[in-house]
Structure 1
Amino acid sequence: MTRSEELPLQGKRILITRAEKQSKAFARRLRELGGEPVHFPVIQITRPADEDPLDAALDRLETFDWLVFTSANGVRHFFRRMDERLQDTRVLQTIRTAAVGPKTAEALKERKLHVLITPEQNHAEALAAALAPAVQPGEEILFPRGNLARRAWLEELELLGCRVTDVVAYETRPRTKGADRMVEQLRAGEVDIVTFTSSSTVHNFIQAIQRVEPDWHMLLDGVKTACIGPSTAAALREKGVEPDAVAEPHSLDGLIQAVTEIAGNE
């Protein structure tokens, strides 16, 4: 048996729905495992249409006790705006920082920030649980987020007496370019596994293919699905599709492992 035949994803065509600029490392890893990445980005990450709320928070950075991030995109766009404003980042050294998971923490460390809290589980509720014993009543928390980020988990911190300021640092927008070709590939059986990395990739993917094929469920007959975490899986179930795998841990590494397990079970 040759080395290529031993690769776990050999001959598998794996659809990537995440934003194009963020999918390079994921696609490279899939190829290393023998898979063939199929790109159909259904979201694009942009700066906010209105940056005044973010600017207002940046104007009073020194008043915050905590800086909390739930995505690497939030980190990148937060610092993008600071850089555009020529704002001195040394003020952040006095603010305690929390990150939802290792990729987000890594993005912060690249900016020379010490991450005080990173929960074991990579999701917002776990971050709230990890923060709860560390915060004090009256403390100010800044949460730079995406426009689609859920806010409900912050209520626990507010019940503890914290003052939470959440501002949009970036926007996730639908992208439908290439939907006709994508539907053709699905009809022809040219996709083996579809990967979803957020609830928005689920919604936008289905919206895009549904515009071309109203009976979109039949396009997924024989196609396996893998989700990066429970909220993404819940979004897929809401559309009537049961995920074949949910990543554990809830990260791209976990998603690659989930895809590999799906391929091994076929």
Structure 2
Amino acid sequence: MSVLRGRRIVVTRARDQAEGLVRSLEALGADVIAAPAIRIEPLPDDAALRSALADLSRWRWIVFTSQNAVHVVCDSMRGWGLQPAALATGNVVAVGPKTASALGREGVKVALVAEETTAEGVLAALTDAGGLAGARVLIPCAQGAREVLPQGLRAAGAVVEVIPVYVTTQETGNPKGLPDGRGKQLAADILQGLIDAVTFTSPSTVYGFVDMVGAEVARSGQFAAAVIGPVTAQAARDAGMRDLVMAARSSAEGLAEALARRFA
């Protein structure tokens, strides 16, 4: 199927995470431009995480709200001489199927997968599961992550420990395929109507894109902004983007499907 043939679509996802989305778009015939707006960096001090995972029986729930958290935690465990499969204690929660799959590849069986792949969805799933009063909950996450989940859990009586394990920063290198000057050619292409859509998989990718091409270009209305979910959609609106395409499924495949419907 080549429903996106001739469409030039920008992928702003971090360089080492973009493959799935690029593959999904190219399978539909799109001409994909890789312009990573962010990068993921593990935080150097893992002492708090190591202490938290020393006795897994302490935790009623261990909640992973992203694949990034899975990768960083599991890599840290291997660095300590532990196998990530040790997390398979029957109390692991994943924000969605992609995060659950990442855990599964590490040998970790997931007890609960949120239907809605947002912090609000995880909160709803844990609330429905019940027994939060007095329950100890560990959340390894991004530095500066939204407080919706820990605040909601604490309001339900849970004892929550949030441990930042990685940071999302704006990409400072020269994106592959873009000239020196970081994004100048991409900005020019957008203003000339040569870009059909830009994909955003997190609010951070929105912020990084705006930094890359400039606020005026970002709100120029010259491209469709394909967003992976409601939180990212709000970040795009706040940046002045109005032509939004929302993925029905919060995944790379969902984004590609949304663009296929848009340009069919």
| Fold match by TM threshold 0.5 | yes
Shift of 1:89: 4.2
Distance 2:58 2:190 in 1: 52
Equivalent of 2:37 in 29, 37, 42: 42
Equivalent of 1:84 in 63, 79, 93: 79
In 1, are the aligned partners of 2:85 and 2:106 still within 8 Å (CA)? no
Distance 1:65 1:232 in 2: 30
The runs of 4+ residues in structure 1 deviating greater than 6 Å are none
Superposed, which structure 2 residues align to 1:1-266 within 5 Å? 7-89=2-84, 91-136=86-131, 137-176=133-172, 177=174, 178-210=182-214, 215-217=216-218, 220-264=220-264
- What RMSD over aligned residues (CA atoms) do the two structures have, in Å? 1.8
Shift of 1:99: 0.5
Indicate the larger mover: 171-180 or 227-236: 171-180
Which letter does structure 1 place at the counterpart of 2:256? I
Distance 1:14 1:50 in 2: 37
Cα distance change of structure 1 residues 185 and 123 upon mapping to structure 2, 3 Å threshold: same
Distance 2:192 2:243 in 1: 21
TM-score (norm 2): 0.90
SS at match of 2:3: coil
Percent identical residues: 33
Which letter does structure 2 place at the counterpart of 1:184? A
Indicate the larger mover: 230-239 or 246-255: 246-255
Cα distance change of structure 1 residues 217 and 105 upon mapping to structure 2, 3 Å threshold: closer
Q: Which runs of 5+ in 2 are unaligned?
A: 175-181
Distance 2:61 2:143 in 1: 20
Which letter does structure 2 place at the counterpart of 1:149? A
Q: Which runs of 5+ in 1 are unaligned?
A: 1-5
TM-score (norm 1): 0.89
Cα distance change of structure 1 residues 68 and 189 upon mapping to structure 2, 3 Å threshold: same
Indicate the larger mover: 109-118 or 133-142: 133-142
Indicate the larger mover: 118-127 or 90-99: 90-99
**Size of the alignment, in residue pairs?**
255
Shift of 1:36: 0.7
